[in-house]
Chains A and B, each alone.
Chain A
Amino acid sequence: MNTGVLFLALRRMRAPLIVLIVIYAVSTLGLTLVPGVDAEGRPAPPMSFFHAFYFVSYTATTIGFGELPTAFSDAQRMWVTVSIYLSVVGWSYSIVSLLALVQDKGFQQVLLTSRFARRVGQLGEAFYIVCGCGETGLLIARALDHDGIRVVVVERSEARVQELELEDFSADILVLCADAAQPQHLLMAGLRHRSCRGVLAMTDDDAANLAIAIASRLINPRLRIVARVASPAIEANMMSFGTHYVVNHFEKFADYLAQAIHSPNWFRLVDLLTGLPGQEVPERHDPPAGDWVVCGYGRFGQAVVRNLGRQGINLTVIDPTPTLPAGVRHIVGQGTEAAPLRQAGVDSAVGIVAASDNDTNNLSIAMTAKEVNPDLFVVLRQNRVANQILFDAYDADFTMVPSRIVARECLALITSPLLARFLKLVRAWPETRAADLAGRLEALFGRRVPLVWGVRLNAADAPAVHRRLVLEQASLSLGRLRADPAARDEALPLLPLLLQRDGRDYPLPDDETIVAAGDEILFAGTRAAKTAQNLTLDHRTVLDYVLTGRDTPGWLWSWLSRAGRAAESRRNEPRRV
C-alpha cells in the first residue's frame, strides 16, 4: 500500500519535476553558450558543461557562492539573472505543488487507508470487524473493548468516525471511513486475516448488511457472521446462505414480549443474563395476560401481532391504513387520539404497545392511553437513542430500544455462544424452576447484570485442569472450580448454568458433578470471579491449593523463600563484637 502512496505522489509531482529539469537544462545550456571574460578583461571561451552545471546547481538552490570559477562577463551576468528568476519560479512551483499534495483530501485518505491496512495486518490477537458504528455498533464496540476483544470498525460517515476517535477505548480502535458494503473495504479491514473471528453487519441499511454478509460468507467461510436486519424477507435471504445469526430486533422484542406474558420468569432470566455486564438490571415489570392494544401496524406492529397472537392473546390494532389483512381486529385511526383508543377497548385492556416509527407519537399514544386507563401496562417503541431523556422521563413499563436489543443479542452470541443454547433450554422449563434460578442469580449479584462466560476444559483454555484430568487421570468436581483461590473454603460469586458434554446438555450442574476433559461449562458471575477462576484453570499451584489446601510453591519461589529464610536466620544470630 505504501508504494501506492509513493506512486500517487510521483504522479502528482510530474509537472513540477519536468519544469525543474527544463529550467536547469536551459540555464546550464545558456551558460555553456554565453562567452566569458578572463582576468585581464579579454573575451574568453564560454563555461564548460561541468562548470555551468556547478554554477546553476548552487544558484538555483539560492546558495549563491558568487561568480565561480572566474568573474563573469556582462553577457554571462545577463543570462544568470534570467536563470535565477527561472529557477526561483521552478522551485516555488514544486514546493507549492508538494504542499497542495500533502493537504489534498484524496492523498490524505490514501495515507490513512494505507496506515489502517498496515495496522490491521499487524494485529496479532483475535478481533471482530464491526461494520457500521452507529448507536448499535458503538454499544457493541464498547462492550467488546471492555471484554478485551479487539475491534476493527468500518463506518461510512466521517462525522461518526471523528466521534469514535474521541471515545475512550482501552485498546486502540482501528477505524476505516469507508462503505462496508464494498468487499474491498472489508478485505482491508482484515476479512482474510488469520486472527479475524467474525463480522458484525450493524449498519442501519438492510441491503448493506446483506451485501456484507454475502461478501464475508464468500471470502472467508470460517468467520462467524452476525447481521442485523429489520425486514423478514432479507432475514430469510440471509439465513439461506448460512449467516450464523440474524438479529431482527422487531421480531426479537415481540418474541420477548410474548414470552414475558407467557412466562415472566423466563424473561427475567433473559434480562439478567443478556444485559450489558455490570449495568443495573431493569426493574421487574411482568406484562399481564389479557386484552392488548397495538398502535401502529408497521414492521414492529406486525411482529408484535404475530408473536402475541401465537400465545393466544386477544389483540386490537389501531392504524390509519384502512386495508389490513383479514383476521386482525382493526380500528382505523390514530392511536394519539382518545376516541379510537376507547373504540379499541383500552378501558378493558391490560396493556398497550405504542409501535409507530415516530417517538413523539409513541409518547403521545402512551400518555393518552394512560389517561383513559391508568392501570395500563405500557410498552413503548423508542426509535432514536437521542430521545432517551424523554423516555426516561416518561418511564414506561417496557421500552424497546432497537440498538440495545441488537447489541446485547450480538454480545451474548460472541462472548458466550452457550448462552443462547441455555436460554432455549430454559424456555421449556416450568415457571417455578426458572423463578428459582432467577432468585438465586438476584441473590448472588444484587441488581447488577452478571458476566456470562463459557469455559472449555482443554489444553488451551484450562491448562492446569486439563493436565490433571488427562495426564494424571485424576478426577475433579465442579465445585472446585467455584472455590476462591485465595481462601478455598469460600465460594466465588459465580454460578454454573450449563454443562455441555459430547453434544448433550446438563443444565444447572451441581458442585458434585465430576467434570471431564473437553467439557464446556457456562458460568454467570462477577468479573472478579472470572479472573479468580482463571487462576485456578491456568495454574497448577493454584489448582493444588484449591484441591488440597496446601501451597505447593514453584521452584523459583521455593528457592527464593529458602534463601530468604537463610538470610533471616543469619540476621537473627547474636552478633559477636
Chain B
Amino acid sequence: MNLEKVVFGFFIVLAATLNFGFFIGDIDQPMHHHIYELFAAIVVNLIATVLKFGDRTQIGAVHLSTSLVADLQLVAAACVWAFAVHVGGEGMSPEVTTSVVSLSGGALFANVVSVVLLIAETVMLRR
C-alpha cells in the first residue's frame, strides 16, 4: 500500500463528497446549503489541486485540469455569496442561492470526472 496514493485518493473523494453535500437539496432553499460546507469544499478542493501538481503524464494533466475547473467554479460560488451577503445586501435570496448552488453543481461535475479518472487509473493498474 502506498501512503501517497491513499492521501491522494482521500482528498479527491473528499472534495467530491463535500461538494455533493453542499449541492444536494432544493436549489433555492438557503437552509439546504450551509455555507460552512462550501468553505470545506473549497479548502479540500484546493488541497486536491496542489496534490495533483507535478505529474507529467497525460492522465495527470487531465486530473489537474478537472481540479482547476472545480476550484474556479467553487471560488465563483463563494464570490457570488460574498457579494450578495456583504456588498449587494440582498442576503441569501432564492435567486442568489440558486446561482451559488448551480455553480457548485458545475464543480461537482468536474469532481465526478476526477473521481472517474481515479477509478479508471486504478482499474488500468489492476490489468
Which positions in A face B, CB cutoff 8 Å?
Answer: 3-4, 7-8, 10-14, 17-18, 21-22, 25, 28-29, 32, 48-51
Contact = CB atoms under 8 A, between A and B. Distances in A.
Closest 8 CB pairs of A and B: A11-B54, A10-B53, A25-B43, A50-B82, A17-B50, A10-B54, A50-B86, A21-B46
Contacts, number: 46
Contacts of A22: 43, 47
A49 to B, nearest CB: 6
Interface string B10-43: 0000000000000000000000000110010001
Given A14-B51, A49-B35, A21 B56 contact: no
Contacts of A25: 39, 43
A29 B50 CA distance: 20
Contact of B47 (A8, A18, A32, A49): A18
B85 interface: yes
A28 B39 contact: yes
B56 A4 contact: yes
Given A21-B46, A21-B50, A29-B39, 11 more contacts: A3-B56, A4-B56, A7-B53, A10-B54, A13-B53, A17-B50, A17-B53, A22-B47, A25-B43, A28-B39, A49-B82
Nearest to A24: B43
A50 B79 CA distance: 9
A18 B54 contact: no
A49 B84 CA distance: 13
A12 B54 CA distance: 8
A17 B71 CA distance: 15
The majority secondary structure among interface residues of chain A is helix
Contacts of B47: 18, 21-22
Contacts of B82: 49-50
A11 B50 CA distance: 9
Nearest to B56: A7
Nearest to A12: B54
B87 to A, nearest CB: 9
The majority secondary structure among interface residues of chain B is helix
Contacts of A7: 53-56
A32 B37 CA distance: 13
Interface of B: 35-36, 39, 43, 46-47, 50-51, 53-56, 78, 81-82, 85-86
A21 B43 contact: yes
B9 to A, nearest CB: 16
Contacts of B78: 49
Contacts of B43: 21-22, 25
A50 B85 contact: yes
10 contacts: A3-B56, A7-B55, A10-B54, A12-B54, A14-B51, A18-B50, A21-B46, A21-B47, A48-B85, A51-B86
Contacts of A49: 35, 39, 78, 81-82
A115 B43 CA distance: 37
Contacts of A17: 50, 53
A28 B35 CA distance: 13
Given A22-B47, A50-B86, A14 B39 contact: no
A10 B52 CA distance: 9
A32 B40 CA distance: 13
Contact of B86 (A13, A18, A48): A48
Nearest to B51: A14
Given A21-B46, A28-B39, A11 B85 contact: no
A225 B82 CA distance: 68
B50 A14 contact: yes
Interface centre among B39, B51, B85 (most CB of A within 10 A): B39
Nearest to B86: A50
Contacts of A21: 43, 46-47, 50
A8 B50 contact: no
Interface centre among A10, A12, A51 (most CB of B within 10 A): A10
A21 B46 CA distance: 7
A8 B54 contact: yes
